[in-house]
Amino acid sequence: MKKNNIIKIFAPYVMLLCVVLITMYIFNRNNVVIHELNYNEFITNLTGEAVKELEVTPKSSESVYLLSGKLEDYKKNESFKLIVPYTDSVIEKILTEANTQQLEVKVNKDPGSISWISIVLEFIPILLIGGLSFYLIRVMLSSGKGGTLDFGRSRAKLNQDGGKTTFKDVAGLNEEKEEVKELIDFLKSPKKFQKLGARIPKGVLLVGPPGTGKTLLAKAVAGEAKVPFYYISGSDFVELFVGVGASRVRDMFKQAKQTAPCLIFIDEIDAVGRQRGTGLGGGHDEREQTLNQLLTEMDGFGANEGIIIIAATNRPDVLDPALLRPGRFDRQVTVNLPDVKEREAILNVHAKGKILSEDVKLNHIAQRTPGYSGADLENLLNEAALLAVRRNKESISMDEIDEASDRVLMGPAKVSRKVTEFEKRVVSYHESGHAVLGIELPNGDEVHKITIIPRGMAGGYTQMLPKEERTMIMTKDELLQKITCYLGGRVSEELFIGEISTGASDDFKRATHIARSMVTEYGMSDLGPMQLEHRSGEVFLGRDYTNTNRNYSDTVALEIDKEIRKIIDECYQKAKDILTKNKELVEILANTVSEKETITKEEIEEIVKEYKSSNKSKKSKNIEE
C-alpha cells in the first residue's frame, strides 16, 4: 500500500481522536466548580486549618495576588479563588500562617502581560474541530472518489493507456474482431475517414450469451487503440435519488470530452437502457431519466466528437428502440458461442501456465464441449487443475478433465450418498434406454458416456453429443428423434423393470417443449405453417403479466394439445419398438454400467460392436439351418 494512501486512510481517525480528547478536556474543565471567597473567609479557613492546598500567583500588571486552592470539605472538582491587594504585608501574613500550619504553598512567577501561549492553547480546540470539518467535507465532495455527498459524479473508471489486453488475448471471434477494427483505425487516424466523408459509428452494441467474451473484446479494442478507456456498469448510473443517474451521465461525457478521442464501455447496459413506460403501475422514473440523458448525450444537440461507446448486453430484446436507432448504437455485433475451432483456440489461451499430461489433447476436448462459452472453457480447465492439486498429481490428465466436465454440467458427484440396489438397477436401465436410442436412430446424437453416479439433482446421466455441430437449423426428423431419445428412459423402465419412476420428469419437460415448439412456432404439424405462439423474453410484469402470448382461440388450443399428444405418442411408440428390438443390447449396457458405474465412449463402441457381430453370426446360423 502506498504511503499517500495510508495517510488518507488514517488521517481522519487521528484527527477525530484529537478532537475527542480535546472535547473531553474542555468538558472536564467546564465541570470544575470554583468558589469565590472574600479575604475574611479565606483568613478564617486558613487559621482554622481548613485550607489543604494553596497557590499564590502575583499579577504586577494588575497590582494584585491571585490565590487559589482547596478546602478540606471540597470535592475533587471543587476549588476556591480570591484576589488580594499587591502588598508585602498581606502576602507575608498569609505565608507566615501557612508556615505555622506546615502547609505547602506554591508560589508562581509573575506572568506579566498576557501570554501568547495561553491564547494559542485557547484556540487549538477551535482550529482542530474546524480543520477536521473542512477535511471531511472536502473528502465527501472530492471529484471521482465516490464520497458520501458525491452523488452526481460519474462512477466511470479511467484507464489512460487503454489496458494491456489486445486481440492476441482474444481467441476466436474472428468476424467480431473485423467488425470492431474500424473503430481502432478511426481512433488512430480519423482523417482517413473524414477525407471521404465517412462517419464512424458512435456506438457499438455487443450482443450475445453470457461468458462469450463481450467485455474481453471491448478491453481488446481499447488496448489496440491505446486511447483513454472509461468503463462502467449500467447499474452504477441508477441511484436512490431521482436525477442522480442523469447527472452521472452528464459528468461521464464531460470527462470523456476532455480526453477525446476515447472509448466508453458500458457493461450490462440493459440495467439502464430498458424500454420506457413499462412495468406494472408505471415506469421507473429515475432509470428513465438516466436513459433520456444517455440518449441526448449520444445524439442530441451537443456534439460528442471522438467519443465512441461500446456496450454489452445479453438481453437486446428489452432495450429501448431509441437506443438502437442509427446515430446512437449504429452497429450491433453478435458474439455467439464458439465453434469447435474457436473452442480449441480458447483452450490454448487458457492452457497457458497449466501443466498438461501427454494424454490431454485440446482438440479432442474442443470436440466434446459443444455449447460451451469461453468462460465455461476457462472454468473447465481451472476445475481440472484444482482436482489435480487435490489428488497430489504433478500434471493435469484426462481423468481430471472428464471429472471437471461432469462437475461443470451436473455438479460434484454425490459419492457419499447411499443408493439402494433397486435404485441402481432402475437408473441403469433408464440411462441404457437413452443410449440405445442414440445408437440406433440414424440422426441420433452420439453417446459419449453413461454414468449412474448421482450428481446434483440427477441419479445419473447419459452424455450425448451431436455427430455434426450445427447452430443454424434442425429438420423435423431430427427434432422427432430428439424427442424419441428423451422418452427412451421411461420406455426402458416400463419394459425392463415393470415399473415407472419419477426420474423421467426432466426428459418429459424437454420433449414437451420441443413438441410444442414444433406445433406452435415451426409449423411442423397438421395445423399447417402457422406461428401460433412466440417466445417472449419480456421481464416487465405489466407487459407480460400472464406469461402467455396466445394468438389463437380455445378451439385451436384444443387442436394444439391434440397435435402435441400425437407427436409424443408416436415418438413413445417408436422408442418402445426400437428398445424391444434391441432388448439384449439394453441388458448388456445396463449390466455393464451397473457394475462399473461409468462407461466411456470407447467401451460403449466395443460393446455395440460385439453385440452386432454376435447378432450377425446368429442370423447366419439361422439361415444355414
Work out the burial of residue 490: count CB atoms within 10 Å of its CB; fewer than 13 is exposed, 13-18 middle, 19 or more buried: buried
Q: What helix, strand, coil percent values describe the chain, rounded to 5?
A: 50, 15, 35
Which has the closest alpha carbon to 286: 318, 239, 323, 247? 239
In single-letter form, the type of residue at position 42 comes to F
Q: Which helix (H) or strand (E) holds 231?
A: strand 229-233
Select the highest-mean-pLDDT range: 9-13, 192-196, 320-324: 320-324
Output 47 or 394, whichever has higher pLDDT.
Answer: 394
Lowest-pLDDT range of 60-74, 420-434, 611-625: 611-625
Which has the closest alpha carbon to 615: 582, 592, 574? 582
pLDDT confidence bin for 88, thresholds 50/70/90: low
Count CB neighbours of 178 within 10 A. Answer: 10
Distance from C-alpha of 184 to C-alpha of 201, rounded to nearest angstrom: 12
pLDDT at 484: 94
Handedness of CA 223, 225, 226, 231 (dihedral sign): negative
Query: Does pLDDT of 538 surpass 70?
Result: no
pLDDT confidence bin for 513, thresholds 50/70/90: very high
Query: Does pLDDT of 546 surpass 80?
Result: no
Distance from C-alpha of 234 to C-alpha of 494, rounded to nearest angstrom: 53
* Phi, psi angle pair for 227, to nearest 5°: -120, 165
Residue 603 C-beta-side C-alpha neighbours within 13 Å: 14
CA angle in degrees (0–180, nearest 5) for 308-312-317 = 115
pLDDT at 111: 62
pLDDT at 563: 94
Work out the burial of residue 321: count CB atoms within 10 Å of its CB; fewer than 13 is exposed, 13-18 middle, 19 or more buried: exposed
Beta pairing, strands 51-59 & 33-36: unpaired
Count CB neighbours of 106 within 10 A. Answer: 11
Count CB neighbours of 35 within 10 A. Answer: 13
* Phi, psi angle pair for 402, to nearest 5°: -65, -45
Q: Per-residue pLDDT averaged across 573-589, rounded?
A: 92
pLDDT at 191: 78
Using DSSP's 3-state secondary structure scheme, residue 463 falls into strand
pLDDT at 620: 59
Q: Which helix (H) or strand (E) holds 310?
A: strand 307-313
In angstroms and rounded to an integer, the radius of gyration of the C-alpha atoms of the chain is 42
Per DSSP, the residues of 158-176 read: EETT--S--GGGS-S-HHH
Output 184 or 141, whichever has higher pLDDT.
Answer: 184
pLDDT at 545: 43
Using DSSP's 3-state secondary structure scheme, residue 473 falls into coil
Distance from C-alpha of 370 to C-alpha of 366, rounded to nearest angstrom: 7
Count CB neighbours of 131 within 10 A. Answer: 13
Tell me the C-alpha to C-alpha distance, in Å, between residue 592 and each of 392, 423, 491, 600: 30, 15, 19, 11
pLDDT confidence bin for 544, thresholds 50/70/90: very low
Q: Is 374 within 8 Å of 211 (Cβ atoms)?
A: yes
In the structure grid, which three cell numbers stand for residue 462, read together?
447419459
Select the highest-mean-pLDDT range: 204-218, 245-259, 508-522: 508-522
Tell me the C-alpha to C-alpha distance, in Å, between residue 271 and each of 153, 234, 294, 476, 525: 19, 5, 13, 38, 40
pLDDT at 54: 81
Q: pLDDT (tens digit, 9 = 90+) per residue, 463-487? A: 888 877 766 688 899 899 999 999 9
Which has the closest alpha carbon to 403: 413, 393, 391, 394? 413
Distance from C-alpha of 66 to C-alpha of 87, rounded to nearest angstrom: 12
pLDDT at 1: 47
Using DSSP's 3-state secondary structure scheme, residue 451 falls into strand
Select the highest-mean-pLDDT range: 12-16, 55-59, 532-536: 55-59
pLDDT at 278: 61
Catalytic pick among 239, 288, 297, 431: 431
What average pLDDT does the chain have?
79
Query: Does pLDDT of 129 surpass 80?
Result: no
pLDDT at 409: 77
Q: Per-residue pLDDT averaged across 314-322, rounded?
A: 85
Query: Does pLDDT of 380 surpass 80?
Result: yes
Q: Per-residue pLDDT averaged across 69-84, rounded?
A: 80
Which has the closest alpha carbon to 338: 444, 216, 239, 461? 216
Query: Does pLDDT of 564 surpass 90?
Result: yes
pLDDT at 144: 45
**Is 378 assigned a catalytic role?**
no
Select the highest-mean-pLDDT range: 220-229, 360-369, 405-414, 490-499: 490-499
Query: Does pLDDT of 492 surpass 90?
Result: yes
Work out the burial of residue 603: count CB atoms within 10 Å of its CB; fewer than 13 is exposed, 13-18 middle, 19 or more buried: middle
pLDDT at 148: 47
Query: Does pLDDT of 567 surpass 90?
Result: yes
Q: Per-residue pLDDT averaged across 518-537, rounded?
A: 82
Query: Does pLDDT of 455 surpass 90?
Result: no
**In the chain, what is the straight-line distance between the N-terminal and C-terminal CA atoms, in Å?**
90
Distance from C-alpha of 549 to C-alpha of 554, rounded to nearest angstrom: 13
Lowest-pLDDT range of 58-62, 165-169, 406-410, 520-524: 58-62
pLDDT at 279: 55
Q: Which residues pair with 105 in a beta bridge?
A: 54
Query: Does pLDDT of 424 surpass 70?
Result: yes
Distance from C-alpha of 49 to C-alpha of 43, rounded to nearest angstrom: 10
Q: Per-residue pLDDT averaged across 14-24, rounded?
A: 69
Lowest-pLDDT range of 54-58, 176-180, 345-349, 398-402: 54-58
pLDDT at 530: 86
pLDDT confidence bin for 45, thresholds 50/70/90: confident
